[in-house]
Copies of this chain bind each other. A is one copy, B any other.
Amino acid sequence: MVTIKEVSELAGVSQATVSRVMNNSDKVTDKTRAAVEHAMQQLGYRPNSIAQSLASNRSNSVGVLVSELIGPFYGPMMAGIEHELRQAHKHVIIAAGHSSEADELESIEFLISRRCDALILHVEAVSDEYLINLCRGSLPVILLNRHIEEIADHCISLNNKIGGYLATYELILQGHRKIACITGPMWKIDAKDRFVGYQQALNEAGIPVQQDLVVEGDFNELSGNVGMGKLLQQHPDLTAVFCSNDQMASGAIDQLRQQGRSIPEQVSIIGYDDATFAYYLYPKLSTVHYPVKDMGEMAAHWVLSKVYQLKIRSLKLVFEPYLVLRDSIATQS
């Protein structure tokens, strides 16, 4: 590998000058710059970024930890992050946490030991306390899809209340009154917020919230299927269901179809997340779009601005979801 030294010798300057040419930090004459650049060309010089990192105490790499690499979330998120960071010539080092606390902690250690300049975390299992502590440290950390009040300025999250509200409001708007809800696991703040939005929309429309129109799922498909079964048993006359994510919506659709109910003619369905497969469901699922990619981009922007001093137009920390209307909702008269 050709080093800065060889370049300097060929160009007839010192190593320091070559370094300065690369970082165009200090003033360099056009003439010497040209000479150096020519020498670099000629030798096919590539700076050794490891050595750069050691000397500058900057690794130029950002660690990204996601709870799961598989699933509809990770792709768009990573795409957003990678795209933005790369333009700034920063490296993305990834790690997966597999939704287990031990794994997530280990992954964070792993990334720290790699001397990442910043961390973008999409974690589930790790405790608030740990994260608060982490953020208080010297290593810049941004949390994706998680909101912790004490370190709110380190959190990029989605306003799930609005999402739940929008979904329910749309159903109301289409004339539905008997609107069921299959929630996510209520210990998850996301699930809770979405449910809050649901209640709020009903309240505003003067429709009482009936406890037995609400079933708690676990964000997996099967629970949507089972939940739908329960709901139909108790309320055969319901006309619409808000599912707290698309997986459960898919399960619910299966159950409805099994019972011979047509969608959306007899029962309207709305999901949440706008996962890739939502489009492929039949009928194509109307849902609440979760702007994961935008949020990934924003996390990258945050890092670029806080860590690498790039000027960023604006930093938005709380995102708002929006409706994606497809074919799973019908007007109820």
Chain B residue at minimal CB-CB distance from A106: B86
Interface membership of chain A positions 200-238, coded 1 if the CB is closer than 8 angstroms to chain B and 0 otherwise: 000000000000000000000000000000000000000
Inter-chain contact B69/A75, CB cutoff 8 Å = yes
Interchain CB contact under 8 A, B53 and A82: no
Q: How far apart are the CA atoms of A196 and B281 in the complex, in Å?
A: 31
Q: Are B276 and A61 in contact (CB under 8 A)?
A: no
Please name the residue on chain B nearest to A71 by beta carbon: B75
Q: Does A91 contact B (CB under 8 A)?
A: yes
The answer to whether A91 touches B114 (Cβ under 8 A) is yes
A82 B61 Cβ-Cβ under 8 A: no
> B115 to A48, Cβ gap below 8 A?
yes
Give every chain B residue within 8 A of A79 (Cβ-Cβ).
Answer: 68-70, 96
CA distance A142 to B257 in the complex (A): 46
Contacting residues, chain B, for A82 (C-beta < 8 A): 69, 94-96
Residue A187 interfacial (CB < 8 Å): no
User: What CA separation (Å) do A110 and B113 show in the bound complex?
Assistant: 22
A166 adjacent to chain B (CB < 8 Å):
no
Residues on B with C-beta less than 8 A from A89 are 110
Say if the beta carbon of A306 comes within 8 Å of chain B.
no
Residues 226-252 of chain A: 1 if any B CB is under 8 Å from the residue's CB, otherwise 0? 000000000000000000000000100
Nearest 5 pairs of A and B residues by beta carbon: A282-B282, A277-B277, A69-B79, A277-B280, A70-B75
A115 touches B54 (CB 8 A): no
Not counting A46-B109, A49-B113, A82-B96, a sample of 4 additional A-B residue pairs whose C-beta atoms are within 8 angstroms of each other reads A70-B79, A71-B75, A72-B276, A282-B282
On whether the beta carbons of A92 and B91 are closer than 8 Å, the reply is: no
Contact with B along A19-54 (1 / 0, CB 8 A): 000000000000000000000000000111111011
A151 interface contact, C-beta 8 A: no
> Is residue A83 within 8 Å, beta carbon to beta carbon, of the partner chain?
yes
**14 pairs across A/B with beta carbons < 8 Å?**
A48-B54, A48-B115, A68-B79, A70-B79, A75-B75, A79-B96, A86-B95, A86-B110, A89-B110, A91-B114, A93-B93, A276-B276, A277-B279, A281-B282
Map CB proximity to B onto A279-293 as digits: 1 under 8 Å, 0 otherwise.
111100000000001
Residues A61 and B280 in contact in the complex (CB < 8 Å), given A69-B78, A69-B79, A115-B48: no
A322 contacts the other chain (CB 8 A): no
Residue pair A59, B69 in contact (C-beta under 8 Å): no
A76 to B71 alpha-carbon distance, docked (Å): 8
In the bound complex, CA of A70 to CA of B68 (Å): 15
Q: Among the interface residues A51, A59, A83, A282, which one has the most CB atoms of the partner chain B within 10 A?
A: A282
Chain B minimum-CB-distance residue to A250? B280
> How far, in Å, is A173 (CB) from chain B's closest CB?
27
For window 113-129 of A, CB contacts with B under 8 Å fall at 113-115
Closest to A48 in B: B115
User: From residue A238, how far is it (CB to closest CB) to chain B in Å?
Assistant: 22
Which residues from chain B contact A59 at a C-beta distance below 8 Å?
A: 50
Residues of B with C-beta under 8 A to A61: 93
Please, which residues of chain B bring their CB within 8 A of the CB of A47? 113
Q: Please, which residue of chain B has its CB at the minimum distance from the CB of A86? A: B95
